[in-house]
Structure 1
Amino acid sequence: MKLPKEILNGFLIFLGIGLYFLLMNVLGLADLFYLRTLNVFFIFWGVNKTLQMNLLEGETNFVSNAVSAMATSVVGVSMSVLGLLIYSYARGGDAYVKSLSETFLFGGDPSVTAYCICLFFEGIASSVIVTMMLMLYWNNKYAAD
Structure 2
Amino acid sequence: MSVEKIVITNAIKMYIGILLFFLLMKLVGLESVTELRMLNFLFVFWAVNAAIKKNIFENGNSIYFQNLFIGFFTALTALIFLVISLVFYLFYIDPSFLRILESSTLWGESLTPPLIAFAIFIEGIASSMICTFIVMQYWKNKKVDTTATV
Once the two structures are superposed, the pairs formed by residues 1-145 of structure 1 within 5 Å of their partners are 4-56=5-57, 57-93=59-95, 95-100=96-101, 102-103=103-104, 105-140=106-141, 142-143=142-143
Contact 1:98–1:109 (Cα < 8 Å) also in 2? no
Gaps of 5+ in 1: none
Distance 1:51 1:4 in 2: 12
Aligned structure 1 segments of 4 or more residues deviating by more than 4 angstroms: none
For 1:94-130, what per-residue CA distance to the aligned partner results, in whole angstroms no more than 9, with x for missing partners? x431233632531112001101110110011000000
* Bigger shift: residues 107-116 or 120-129: 107-116
Q: Deviations over 1:49-98 (max 9, x none)?
A: 001101112100001111111110101111111111111111343x4312
The CA RMSD measured in Å over matched residues stands at: 2.0
CA distance in 2, matches of 1:54, 1:116: 31
Q: Tell me how far 1:19 sits from its aligned partner.
A: 0.5
Report the TM-score when normalising by structure 1: 0.90
Other structure's SS at 2:38 match: helix
Unpaired stretches in structure 2, ≥5 consecutive residues: 145-150
Which has the higher Rg, Structure 1 or Structure 2?
2
TM-score, L = length of structure 2: 0.87
CA distance in 1, matches of 2:105, 2:38: 9
AA matched with 2:23: L
Letter in 1 for 2:83: V
Identity of aligned residues (%): 30
